[in-house]
Amino acid sequence: MRVCEKVAEIRSVVRELRRSGPVAFVPTMGFFHEGHLTLMREARRRFPSVVVSIFVNPLQFGPAEDFAAYPRDLERDLRLARETGVDAVFAPARTEMYPERPCTFVDVERLTGVLCGRTRPGHFRGVATVVSKLFNIVQPDAAFFGQKDAQQLQVIRRLVEDLNFGLEIVAVPTVREADGLAMSSRNMYLSPGERRAATVLYRSLQVAREAILGGERDLSAVREGLAAQIAAEPLAQLEYAEILALPDLTPPHATDKELLLAVAARFGRARLIDNVTVTIGEKTET
């Protein structure tokens, strides 16, 4: 496995890899858990070559957020990537990605005015900018993203379409602990009590999903029930509980078939998000 810190190096490695066929890309911020490894395995299964990036992107963190504290363990990440069969890792320093304060940013409108876009101003501008840079550097044929970051996924799909990036975006279902908690690097901030309490997110999402699948069409009532169930957990500070139509993340109408049920809440210093999707008329696995 090649480990590159410089843009020029990873470009030349990708050129070599491309000789064996199309290249898959898994952008990450490191501190790997089973969710990241599943993205890499899926990329490996479908493509002859897999490139992973590890970069904690300062642009997507607000001033009061956890950029400095965000967990990092490059040695362990490189070992896991190697064991998973990754061909190359791009792990640039901040100065390699942003030698100067950038003047150019990528803003994806509309889709970023809801959910995390509302509570984390500037977050998706940071994500869209770094993902565009990474796509330009690596020039992959496909990029793999987790369904857990459902809004990020829609933002990136739209970005790729609007800016003609010419690559396939592959969504991979959320990987969960045995009790349903979605895997996240931020779960390591949870105390044992908060860890137990955090299972309320997926439990309440499932209840809401079952209600809709069972024929409930008063989505405001379902949304209120979802919010109330999370708010009733003493260790949870609810940030939002929303039901929106996919793929545009707009308020749902009776004719919408694909719905996203999304929640965000704080448990101590961990801000966690989770979601499920519902296809009206059939069950989906998320």
Residue 61 CB, nearest approach to ligand PAF (Å): 10
Is 36 considered catalytic here? yes
Is there a contact between 202 and 226 (Cβ–Cβ < 8 Å)? no
Asked whether position 127 contacts ligand PAF by CB under 6 A, the answer is: yes
Residue 158 CB, nearest approach to ligand PAF (Å): 14
Residue 194 CB, nearest approach to ligand PAF (Å): 22
- Number of shown-chain residues binding ligand PAF (CB under 6 A): 10
Asked whether position 274 contacts ligand PAF by CB under 6 A, the answer is: no
Catalytic hit among 33, 36, 123, 253: 36
Alpha-carbon distance 114 to 124, whole Å? 11
Closest CA to 234 of 274, 182, 198: 198
Can you read off the two tokens belonging to residue 91?
Answer: 């792990």
Show contacts with ligand PAF in window 43-82 (CB under 6 A).
57, 60
Residue 140 CB, nearest approach to ligand PAF (Å): 13
For the beta carbon of residue 8, count every other beta carbon within 10 angstroms. Answer: 10
Can you read off the two tokens belonging to residue 143?
Answer: 């990029």
Alpha-carbon distance 119 to 123, whole Å? 9
Asked whether position 130 contacts ligand PAF by CB under 6 A, the answer is: yes
Which is closer to ligand PAF, CB of 59 or CB of 181? Answer: 59
**Which of 13, 28, 80, 190 touches ligand PAF by CB under 6 A?**
28
Asked whether position 259 contacts ligand PAF by CB under 6 A, the answer is: no
Which is closer to ligand PAF, CB of 169 or CB of 280? Answer: 169
Which is closer to ligand PAF, CB of 35 or CB of 252? Answer: 35
First and final C-alpha spacing in the chain:
32
Print the binding letters for residues 135-154 with ligand PAF: x by CB under 6 A, - otherwise.
--------------x--x--
Asked whether position 27 contacts ligand PAF by CB under 6 A, the answer is: yes
Asked whether position 129 contacts ligand PAF by CB under 6 A, the answer is: no
Helices (H), the chain: 7-18, 34-46, 74-83, 94-97, 116-119, 123-138, 150-162, 192-197, 200-213, 219-231
276 sits in the region (left: phi over 0; alpha: psi -120 to 50; else beta) called: beta
Alpha-carbon distance 62 to 24, whole Å? 30
Active site residues: 36
- Binding residues for ligand PAF, rule: CB under 6 A, are 27-29, 57, 60, 127, 130-131, 149, 152
